[in-house]
A and B are shown apart, each in its own frame.
Chain A
Amino acid sequence: MFPFAGKAVEIADRSGADFADIRVVETRRQTLSVRNGEIGAINDSVTLGFGVRVLYKGAWGFASSDVMTAGEVARVSRLAISIAKASASLKGRPVRLAAEPAYRDFWQTPFIKDPFSVPVEKKLTLLFAIDRVLRKDRRIRSAVSGMNFIREHQWHMTTEGSEIEQVLLSSGAGFEANAIDKGEAQSRSYPSPHGGQILSMGYELIESLDLAGNAERVREEALALLTAPRCPEGKKDLIIYGNQLALQIHESVGHASELDRVLGYEESFAGSSFATIEKLGKFRYGSPIVNLVADATLPGGLATAGYDDDAVKAQRWHIVKDGILSGYMTNREFAGRIGRDRSWGSCRADGYANIPITRICNLSLMPGDVPEDALISDTKDGVIMENNKSWSIDQKRLNFQFGCEIGWLIKNGKKGAMIKNPTYQGITPAFWNSCDAIADENSWSLWGVANCGKGEPPQTAMMCHGGSPARFRKTRIGVGA
């Protein structure tokens, strides 16, 4: 594919571009789902296309196409140059990219079992089996189980001499039961909501999840939630479990630390960030036990790759160290604004048709030193919340409110009654500063986020967040209409 891509680099070089790159991307996706005994999705898709990005006299242009001919590469490259010239009509300081060596490399996601080689029949048999268990009670009015697999083959070539070929693979699966009775509706999912667990692995992930073995429990918990007491209103110590902690990290630290957002470049869409650059190295984001690490080398991470889409080699760095804001998600364009001569490498594009933008990398809360049991036994008046159901945060990433699938009250160190519709609300720095205990590495797990939206035109990216259950003192819970 590099000879095909070379045409774009050649045209950009001849035009006097400061920098240009072309990304050719072939994406294969397989999506399967079963809903209430019927096939809800059964799609195998392959797309191929390319995007050309040109930096001309300090201004950007980007164009893409799915017509794979030499003539079209030339047309799209010239279009990207003309768009960059139009961008120059409203230009601030010229864009200067942070330096990065040129690489010629191949990288691929390690996996054991190629998910595309596993027969669809086998996958559907498992999904139908789960569906039957979930719908054994008439009050389960809808049950959805699904799997999805993505293989993205990228060829990235830059005017600086990089030629990087990568094959990124991910697998995902999960299910959800919706119980409805007497005007009440409750849902429960496994391993996590919003499509289930997804990681950069092969089919071995699906085999490790014991999906069928959890279906009965999920059904019974969804039914039990129908008659469970409501989440009380007030302030309690909150212990966050499961993928809800991932969403908390994602919304209140991940997006808040995207440097393009911090600098105002997302203001017109999802907003900016309170974590402004003068706070770097000084601002107490959380309590001293809070360490949040971005890591593009993390095994299984959905943002794990050899290189980002700026052709920067994968790295690991702190966003919050010992509670202090210590880093950002960066691309090569903005790294210089915080005095860095190299990007941390967190710039990615959605497929071939989008320009690379700063994205959240894999971002995890480092484990603490408390056994999970001790986290509960040390809590006098608290609540556990697990698995996200609803999320919302303001345009500076300060005021957030989350709803979860399920909760349990804690009284005098004992996990007690199940509660329904648990919600909590807070202000980001105050919340992370109230974190007084994090369970140890034995409880640490990684959760995939497959639907992170950002940018205009909108792009979707995937990343992971890891963590052990963590406790936040005196949190406002039970917010309702």
Chain B
Amino acid sequence: MLSHERICDRIFRLAGRRRTEVIVTSTCSALTRFADNVISQNVADTATEISVRVLDNGRVAKFSLNQPSEASLRTAFSGADLILKTQKKDPRLLPLPRPAGLKENRSVFFPGTADLTPSDRAARAVSFAGKCRRAGAVGFGTFENGTRMVTVANSLGLRAFHRETYAAYSVTARHGDGFGWAQDYSCDSGRLDFERVDRAALDKALRSAGPRAVPPGRYTVILEPSAVANLLLFLGIYGFGARFYQEGQSFVSGRLGKKVLNDKLTITDDAAEGPSAGMPFDYEGVPKRRLVLVDKGVARDLAHDRQTAREAGVRTTGHALPMPNTYGPLPSNLVMAAGDRSLKEMIRSTKKGILVTSFHYCNPLKPITLEMTGMTRNGTFMIENGRISYPVKNLRFTESVADAFNRVEAVGDRLESFLLWGTVSAPALKIKDFNFSSATMF
């Protein structure tokens, strides 16, 4: 495959005088998956996707391809011209952005992470499966690594390039009817703490065997970071994207500057640095600004692209998705600030409550109030008198995340990062009166 620079040069040469934007994304990824103590899938992929947006005085066309030969590009431009010619003019369509000062984010690329081999990944699977076997458990999991490169360029001279590596190690242990899970994610595979992850998953599986049924109802809960990250993701998407806000579809709509969550909570979106750092510009090549979405419970910022910013009369924050799109801008480097309580302290301070390792299959029922449902998974425990007393069968929650995040009693002192839709980093939370609406059979 050609370099991103040569791909862009070729496209701009063939584009001639057309106003053109090019997004090139290349990925090189590999994943080893194991189940039942056996490697079940082991894959590697190399791919480049090129998307070209052509603007012509209030008209737009777009094409994508992965074989950028001169002939295929000429054909694609001809097709775009035809679409432009027959399209009605939209006076609201923004022209391409001009180049802005961009800083490369060098903190997220680690050559060693890109170079991990199938044998390196298999060795971790072998190690965890061995630990599981010795404990009478069964191991499942994945070890994934890869590189991603993105170039955004346009015919006004804008050039933005980003590259990052990633490594994610996630394991599940099953011991009879007990389950445990843990993961670690980093741009640098050297920072993955395999031993901690293996130990945590296996320990949870051993401790969660023989779960007892408890009645659904409202309980104090201690949500571990994975469970919080899952809720935070939806809060970011439906709460702080400017388009949802402007259309009155967000629980924050009309409440900027007001208290919307518990004052123990501060939520930022930061692509430049910190645990959720990533691509420092958006899909129009505009630098991403650090956002303080919630400052001690008060809604402060929204994620904007140029279009929503124009409607609001503010500057873009650099959160555009590839244009055109129907979602509007979204935050994708979310961080909930750590607090001052360890998980042990949270448990110790709880007279009666439920400890949740993670949530499964969460979905919004009413996005405007962030009412959601989902299941507990991978280790759910009853807490009584400051101690974990016994494992419980999984429960379904039906709860407004906005309401629940107003009932926070303590915030954990350690962040964990997860590769979800973008990177989400979150601490544990203790929340009172969390609504479990039904129970399942295991």
Q: Are B326 and A66 in contact (CB under 8 A)?
A: no
Which residues of chain A are within 8 angstroms of B119 by Cβ–Cβ distance? 86, 89
Q: Are A392 and B129 in contact (CB under 8 A)?
A: no
Q: How far is the CA of A146 from the CA of B86 in the complex (A)?
A: 18
Q: How far is the CA of A43 from the CA of B83 in the complex (A)?
A: 10
Q: Are A399 and B439 in contact (CB under 8 A)?
A: yes
Minimum distance in angstroms from B352 CB to a CB of chain A: 21
Which residues of chain B are within 8 angstroms of A43 by Cβ–Cβ distance? 51, 62-64
Which residues of chain A are within 8 angstroms of B92 by Cβ–Cβ distance? 38
Q: Are A40 and B324 in contact (CB under 8 A)?
A: yes
Q: Are B86 and A90 in contact (CB under 8 A)?
A: no
Minimum distance in angstroms from B323 CB to a CB of chain A: 10
Q: Which A-chain residue is minimally distant from B1 (CB atoms)?
A: A67
B371 lies within 8 A of chain A by Cβ: yes
Q: Which B-chain residue is minimally distant from A85 (CB atoms)?
A: B118
Q: Are B363 and A268 in contact (CB under 8 A)?
A: no
Q: Are B66 and A66 in contact (CB under 8 A)?
A: yes
Q: Which B-chain residue is minimally distant from A35 (CB atoms)?
A: B326
Q: Are A390 and B363 in contact (CB under 8 A)?
A: yes
Q: Are A83 and B118 in contact (CB under 8 A)?
A: yes
Minimum distance in angstroms from B370 CB to a CB of chain A: 10
1/0 contact string of B41-73 vs chain A (CB within 8 Å):
111111111010000000011111111000010
Minimum distance in angstroms from B48 CB to a CB of chain A: 6
Q: Are A92 and B36 in contact (CB under 8 A)?
A: yes
Residue of A44, A62, A92, A270 near B79 (CB, 8 A) is: A44
Q: How far is the CA of A223 from the CA of B29 in the complex (A)?
A: 47
A423 lies within 8 A of chain B by Cβ: yes
B373 lies within 8 A of chain A by Cβ: yes
Q: Which B-chain residue is minimally distant from A430 (CB atoms)?
A: B441
1/0 contact string of B184-216 vs chain A (CB within 8 Å):
000000000000000000000000000000000
A265 lies within 8 A of chain B by Cβ: yes
B350 lies within 8 A of chain A by Cβ: no
B125 lies within 8 A of chain A by Cβ: yes
Q: Tally B residues with Cβ within 8 Å of A.
A: 93
Q: How far is the CA of A457 from the CA of B363 in the complex (A)?
A: 21
Q: A49-B66, A180-B247, A394-B361 are contacts. A89–B39 as well, Cβ < 8 Å? A: yes
Q: Are A83 and B42 in contact (CB under 8 A)?
A: yes
Q: Are B374 and A90 in contact (CB under 8 A)?
A: no
Which residues of chain A are within 8 angstroms of B360 by Cβ–Cβ distance? 270-271, 394-395
Q: A42-B60, A399-B375 are contacts. A267–B440 as well, Cβ < 8 Å? A: no
Minimum distance in angstroms from A388 CB to a CB of chain B: 10
Of A118-126, A433-441, A443-451, which binds chain B? Answer: A118-126
Q: How far is the CA of A445 from the CA of B385 in the complex (A)?
A: 55
Minimum distance in angstroms from B261 CB to a CB of chain A: 16
Q: Are A267 and B174 in contact (CB under 8 A)?
A: yes
Q: How far is the CA of A120 from the CA of B61 in the complex (A)?
A: 10
Q: Are A390 and B373 in contact (CB under 8 A)?
A: yes
1/0 contact string of A153-190 vs chain B (CB within 8 Å):
00000000000000000000000001010011100000
Residue of B31, B48, B126, B171 near A457 (CB, 8 A) is: B31
Q: Tally A residues with Cβ within 8 Å of B.
A: 88
Q: Are B324 and A39 in contact (CB under 8 A)?
A: yes
Instruction: List A202-234 residues whose CB lies under 8 Å from chain B.
Output: none
Q: How far is the CA of A80 from the CA of B35 in the complex (A)?
A: 20
Of B157-165, B219-227, B267-275, B398-406, which binds chain A? Answer: B398-406
Minimum distance in angstroms from A306 CB to a CB of chain B: 26
Instruction: List A269-291 residues whose CB lies under 8 Å from chain B.
Output: 269-271, 274
Q: Are A270 and B361 in contact (CB under 8 A)?
A: yes
Q: Are A67 and B46 in contact (CB under 8 A)?
A: yes
Q: Are A45 and B33 in contact (CB under 8 A)?
A: no
Q: How far is the CA of A249 from the CA of B437 in the complex (A)?
A: 23
Which residues of chain B are within 8 angstroms of A403 by Cβ–Cβ distance? 365, 373
Q: How far is the CA of A79 from the CA of B119 in the complex (A)?
A: 12
A480 lies within 8 A of chain B by Cβ: yes
A102 lies within 8 A of chain B by Cβ: no
Q: How far is the CA of A84 from the CA of B45 in the complex (A)?
A: 15
Q: How far is the CA of A79 from the CA of B90 in the complex (A)?
A: 49
Instruction: List B67-106 residues whose CB lies under 8 Å from chain A.
Output: 67, 72, 76, 79, 82-83, 86-88, 90, 92-93
Q: Are A62 and B43 in contact (CB under 8 A)?
A: yes
Minimum distance in angstroms from B126 CB to a CB of chain A: 5
Residue of B35, B40, B49, B62 near A44 (CB, 8 A) is: B62
Which residues of chain A are within 8 angstroms of B122 by Cβ–Cβ distance? 86-87, 89-90
Q: How far is the CA of A85 from the CA of B152 in the complex (A)?
A: 39
Residue of A38, A46, A63, A427 near B64 (CB, 8 A) is: A46
A33 lies within 8 A of chain B by Cβ: yes
Of B14-22, B138-146, B424-432, which binds chain A? Answer: B138-146
Q: Which B-chain residue is minimally distant from A46 (CB atoms)?
A: B65
Q: Are A394 and B93 in contact (CB under 8 A)?
A: no
Among all A-B residue pairs, the 10 with the closest Cβ atoms: A45-B64, A86-B118, A399-B440, A92-B38, A121-B86, A40-B326, A268-B140, A185-B368, A87-B39, A62-B43
Which residues of chain B are within 8 angstroms of A314 by Cβ–Cβ distance? none
Which residues of chain B are within 8 angstroms of A392 by Cβ–Cβ distance? 361-363, 373-375, 396
Contact sample, A vs B, 15 pairs, CB 8 Å cutoff: A44-B62, A46-B72, A47-B65, A83-B44, A86-B117, A86-B119, A90-B37, A121-B87, A185-B248, A185-B249, A264-B140, A267-B140, A354-B43, A457-B43, A481-B398
